[in-house]
Structure 1
Amino acid sequence: MMYTIIDIETTGQGNKITEISIFKYDGDKVIDEFTSLVNPQSYIPDYITVLTGIDNFMVANAPTFSEIADTVLAITEGMVFVAHSVNFDYNVIRNEFKALGIDFTRKKLCTVRLSRKLIPGHKSYSLGKICRALDIDINGRHRARGDAEATVILFEKLLQTDGSEIVINDFLKKSSKEATLPPHLPSAVFNAIPNEAGVYYFKNKKGKVIYVGKAKDLKKRVLGHFYNKTERELNLCRETADIDFELSGSELIALLMEDAAIKKHFPEYNQAAKRIPKAYAIFMFEDRNGIIHLAYNILKGAPNPLLTFYNITDCRQFLERLCMQFELCPKYCHLQEGVAQCSHYLIKTCKGVCIENESVHDYNSRVQNAIKHTMEYAKDMVIKEKGRHAEEEAFVMIRNSVYAGYGFIDRSEQIISKEDLETYLIPQKDNVDVQKIIRSYMSVGR
């Protein structure tokens, strides 16, 4: 079997190649080599220059990738593409060819995954650390030729390990996921993921959650990340060393679990739903003259809230509608502050309580009706869902239009009242994203 052992350096953001080194290897010795700087036709950031030593001046007169494409195609033709964290190098090169209208397809092997399989027990399988552990000198770390040459020596050692032929043949089978999985992710971890609904957590080598997702089919969705060739997904997969998961039983609860997990862990690869928006509430109080006020404030500063919102505009607009519908005073609904009497530009329904033209008793009677209306507006609801297995049911609880959480119940349990559900409730925080999830679920007529 013939191999090309490859390493590239890139611009980082955008992943345009700045240097490439290819060693053709026949399983015994190197029989050809191609190494070249590459003009990426884009800016090389300073942090990349610090890491690799390659700056914009060095590549100014270097050939572009299109100028070396034929050479790369020829030297890799019919060869197995070998690299340390192969998916990164392979996909960057493949994208360069794609931009030229050329389909680049090669069988591939990852020396990280091979090392994990053939020489287990090392703390780290990064190129620098595994080479140090195996006494392999790297002459030019973070330069394409130095790293590629070290990978050749590492690959030689792997080929000489007992059982290497069987392992490599297994890795190269079309049915094998080994070339697809992230380099640092053990196969056993992926194989343990079920084809069921739930949430999944990508973790890095330190155990930190770096991405949270949800799916109807966890295994299928997770595998989809490994086939995605975008720069963001490639970087995510390179950092992934473990995947944890939780079953949800249904897509709705998976969505709710996902939102809570993102807001708890703030994973760097989750761009949406990280914010924890402020909650606002409408509440009531009585002043020293006995007048009942309706007001709004952030939820934490609202005693005995009547209704909760996650947008201050929605909160104020609801109060304005309430004020008009029940002919209340904008001053005592706190839609106007610091005024002796109301003079709202939109609301003209006040009967004069603010200038003593109406009795406090009559005014408060309408405020009480408004409060009753508000309490009726706030709904209690329980949404039933599938459980995580056949002997289980799940539910989502809404109290006063506020999401309270979800829970799971064995089908053998007798549930007579909503209070019985409280025992099984897993309390959760409400927020605008959760409200959107539930509204969207309800809108499809389930």
Structure 2
Amino acid sequence: MYAIVDIETTGGNAQYGCITEIAIILHDGKNIEGKYSTLVNPQQPIPRYIQAITGISNEMVAGAPTFSKVAEKVFNLLDKRIFVAHNVNFDYSFIHHQLQQHGYFWQAKKVCSVRYARKIFKGLSSYSLGNLCRDLSIPISNRHRALGDAEATSILFDKLLANDNELKVLNEFTKGRNAHSYLPMNVPVEQLENLPYCPGVYNFHNEKGQIIYIGKAVNLKFRIRSHFSNNSSNQRKQDFIREIFSISYTTCISEMHSIVLEALEIKKHWPKYNTSHKKFEREYGLYCITNRNGLMRFVIETKRKHLPAVTTFYVLQDGHDFIARTLKEFDIDYALAMNTATDTLSSEMIELHNTKMQSVIDSLSNKASKFYITENGANEMGDDRTLAYFFENNRFYGLGFIDAAEPIDPDTPIPELALYNDNSFVRHLLLDFASTQPQNIITINA
């Protein structure tokens, strides 16, 4: 009925590491039915630090069978039994990967003795196997060897069954596909069960509470569950899963809201496991200078800290496109404005050109207004709040919720805004949205 398992390996992930020792104890729920253990030749060197922990050396496994020689035996012992282990997903991922590599299709229901112990013996300071054995007076020999740890886990399993009233917790763990079987061992299952079915942004935290990953979701429960429900043997994925200790989230009124908030929060917290939105954004400034002939011209350069720019850009091509569009709008000669003209100009022509150039600068100054882009919620959870994204001088500054029943007073900015640094991705996303929804733009006079 149960197979209580422990393995030793060459590394921390199933894709690149291999099993060096395996122990399987067959248990019918009351008594031990049989035991099997063997060293396994991993056909790769065992790192020195692992040799120091387990005591298993390269010489010890040199004459041991490879996994291909024991795969059939392992499969037959595990087949049709519930898989029990301390930190079950680690052992399961290795054995599943190794069996699959040798042509055996095997899947099993899983019980993690760490999670089981947390439910039955609440309030202990630690649920590592060594500390549980100490606190529950479980004898353990050959620590960090497969059979020694499996035998200790078997005694722990007996104690868990004995203290599980009518086996309610065990039945909860083994009923269908449940979060206990695939969640990281340190994440409380209640955090997954309490997730809403709505758009949002979620954070994964490590043991110290630091945010190590930020993601967005159209459906928070489905998306977060998908992180854990596939048992990938990829090293980065396994390292990532082991570091997660808790989940937090913020609900959003729409998918766009979640996209915006994810990008802003990644820039704010710079999480370890995020790759998108972490690129450094170079800022460019549009400057107006006067050459030695008295002719005003534009130039785009990397933004200077103490020199005010006419306007700024995060993408160089955006700056060049803006200049071409603006010069055409104000009927300004491109060659003159960019100082590529070689003809000698009269004072009248210079004065006319400079007047037009000043008109561009004045126009941009007049457009340097404060405004909101609003978005009305309409997700499946009935979240009908209205969100306001705040801009000043065409730069994004923050966002906050407003009362849709009370129109925004153009003379009074919203006081409670979550402030963020300007972000070119967010700015372009929201301004593109506003270009198709001009009625959602509210100018602030104050």
Bigger shift: 284-293 or 170-179? Answer: 284-293
Distance 1:50 1:256, change over 3 A: farther
> 2-side partners of 1:177 and 1:156: how far apart?
23
Could you state the TM-score of these two structures normalised by the residue count of structure 1?
0.81
- 1:237 pairs, out of 237, 241, 251, with 241
Alignment of 1:88-99 (within 5 A): 88-99=90-101
* Count of matched residue pairs: 429
What whole-Å deviation, never above 9, does each CA across 1:381-438 have from its counterpart, x for those lacking one?
6142317854521133444443233221122222253x54533543222224434654
Alignment of 1:5-20 (within 5 A): 5-13=5-13, 14-19=15-20, 20=22
- 2:354 pairs, out of 351, 355, 364, with 364
How much has 1:281 moved relative to structure 2?
2.2
Contact 2:206 2:245 in 1 (8 A): yes
> Which residue pairs with 1:4 in the alignment?
4
> 1-side partners of 2:226 and 2:154: how far apart?
31
- 2:313 pairs, out of 309, 316, 330, with 309
What whole-Å deviation, never above 9, does each CA across 1:333-364 have from its counterpart, x for those lacking one?
6xxxxxxxx6xxxxx435447xx988653442
Contact 1:296 1:302 in 2 (8 A): no
How much identity, in percent, do the aligned residues show? 34
Contact 2:253 2:384 in 1 (8 A): no
One-letter identity of the residue aligned with 1:365: T
> 2-side partners of 1:51 and 1:319: how far apart?
65
Distance 1:444 1:38, change over 3 A: farther
Bigger shift: 188-197 or 300-309? Answer: 300-309
One-letter identity of the residue aligned with 1:327: D
Pair 1:414 & 2:414 matched:
no
Distance 1:294 1:58, change over 3 A: farther
One-letter identity of the residue aligned with 1:404: Y
- 2:419 pairs, out of 412, 427, 438, with 427
Once superposed, what is the RMSD of the aligned Cα atoms? 3.7
> 1-side partners of 2:100 and 2:190: how far apart?
33
How much has 1:295 moved relative to structure 2?
3.8
> Which residue pairs with 1:339 in the alignment?
none
Contact 2:372 2:388 in 1 (8 A): no
Alignment of 1:286-365 (within 5 A): 292=296, 294-299=298-303, 301=305, 303-312=307-316, 314-315=318-319, 326-327=332-333, 348-352=340-344, 360-365=350-355
> Which residue pairs with 2:375 in the alignment?
384
> 2-side partners of 1:158 and 1:113: how far apart?
11
Higher relative contact order (CA 8 A, sep 6+): 2
One-letter identity of the residue aligned with 2:309: P
SS at match of 1:178: helix
> Which residue pairs with 1:204 in the alignment?
206
> Which residue pairs with 1:124 in the alignment?
126
Q: Mark the runs of 5 or more structure 2 residues left unpaired by the alignment.
A: 439-446
Alignment of 1:145-164 (within 5 A): 145-163=147-165
What whole-Å deviation, never above 9, does each CA across 1:156-185 have from its counterpart, x for those lacking one?
221222426221122111154322322122
Alignment of 1:102-141 (within 5 A): 102-141=104-143
- 2:281 pairs, out of 272, 277, 287, with 277
Alignment of 1:47-66 (within 5 A): 47-54=49-56, 58-66=60-68
> 2-side partners of 1:132 and 1:362: how far apart?
89
Distance 1:224 1:381, change over 3 A: same
> Which residue pairs with 2:398 in the alignment?
405
